Amino acid sequence: MNSFKAVRVTEQEDQVIYGLEDVDANQLSEGDVLIKVAYSSINYKDMLAVQKNAGVIRNYPMIPGIDLSGTVVESTDSRFTKGQEVIVTGFAMGMNHTGGFSEYARVPADWIVPMPDSFSLKDAMVFGTAGFTAALSILALEKSGMDVANNPQILVTGSTGGVGSIALQILSKIGYKNISALVRKEHQVEVAKSLGAATVIFAEELGDSKKPLGKTRFDFVLDTVGGDVASALIPQISYGGSMSMCGNAGGLQVNTTVLPFILRGVNLLGIDSVNVPIEKRGSIWEKMASDWNITETTLVNEISLEELTEAIEAIKNGQHLGRTIVNV
């Protein structure tokens, strides 16, 4: 195989730098299947991967990109054949295994999901890791009692980001009505409403996060940010309600008391999209490709590998809306 383009992150003295380079197959991590990458996408973790001491990449150089869709070029595993379209998200990809910001990727067969029949390579990355995480969050909340028939009050935090924007659309599509979106900036209001929010709330309206119990406002919360936002919301969840948690853009610490849990039976539902067993992934992707397919209405920005730096800086500076996919 001739050389091809990939984004590589390297460590030089006390800083981390990254950029587009010519690489070859010997610079890819080991795996059973070689994939010609069609699309990847930019997630919050991808932004962290190119920051110093962010804890995402520990061994340099590395090709980042925690998800991809593409076509099998070579396979030593009988489950996958040349020309087959596939999806890879999570596991160690883009962290300590070369990832999706590359024209080619080589991965273990046990990380690969066959492409659903009704999905295109582009559709798969409109969802990407963010959409997979949103789907896992909604499934967990429904398992905990959230039901369209009960007309619950639902709040989505980080509502115009990758996970939040897809969650809003899925919730709206499958019939939920009382959906509130949490935003920080005025220009996000109309965006959140266009994605399915009936009500928009500004972060400063959440009130004092130090109160052990507050007035109940939400039956279920799909939280994507953590930190002070999550801390303020836990005391406002109704009896028997639940909050799913999948992100830390707002901080790693959650400050609360035991009272919401022992007096109101509130549930915290941790969402991990990285190490979900491969045997559970296919049915979730099939659901996203059918009943939960919102790719036609998703707020999507499509860029090339050459434009990656600018898009990552937008996420870092809190200026990013919706989904950004990378046309590799």
24-65 per-position pLDDT tens digit: 999 999 999 999 999 999 998 999 988 888 788 988 999 999
What is the reported pLDDT for 319? 73
For the chain, counts of helices (H) and of strands (E): 8, 15
Q: Is the model's pLDDT at 198 over the cut of 80?
A: yes
N residues, the chain: 328
The CA distances from residue 3 to 24, 99, 101, 112, 319, in Å, are 5, 16, 15, 24, 34
Mean pLDDT of all residues in the chain?
A: 94
| Nearest-angstrom CA–CA distance, 22 and 45 | 24
Supply φ then ψ for residue 75, to 5 degrees.
-150, 135
pLDDT band at 297 (very low <50, low <70, confident <90, very high): confident
Between 203 and 224, residue with greater pLDDT: 224
189 Rama class: left (phi>0) / alpha (psi -120 to 50) / beta: alpha
Express each pLDDT in 117-146 by its tens digit: 999 999 999 999 999 999 999 999 999 999
Q: What is the pLDDT of residues 221-279, one digit of tens each?
A: 999 999 999 999 999 999 999 999 999 888 889 999 999 999 999 999 999 999 999 99
- Ordered alpha helix ranges (H), 158-207: 162-173, 188-194
d(Cα 200, Cα 175) in Å, to the nearest integer? Answer: 18
Two structure tokens written together for 179: 């959906």
Query: Does position 208 have pLDDT exceeding 70, yes or no?
Result: no
pTM of the model: 0.94
The first and second tokens of residue 39, run together, are 């699309």
pLDDT of residue 64: 96
Q: What is the pLDDT of residue 209?
A: 60
Tell me the average pLDDT across 75-81.
Answer: 97
Kindly report the number of other CB atoms within 10 A of residue 239's CB atom. Answer: 11
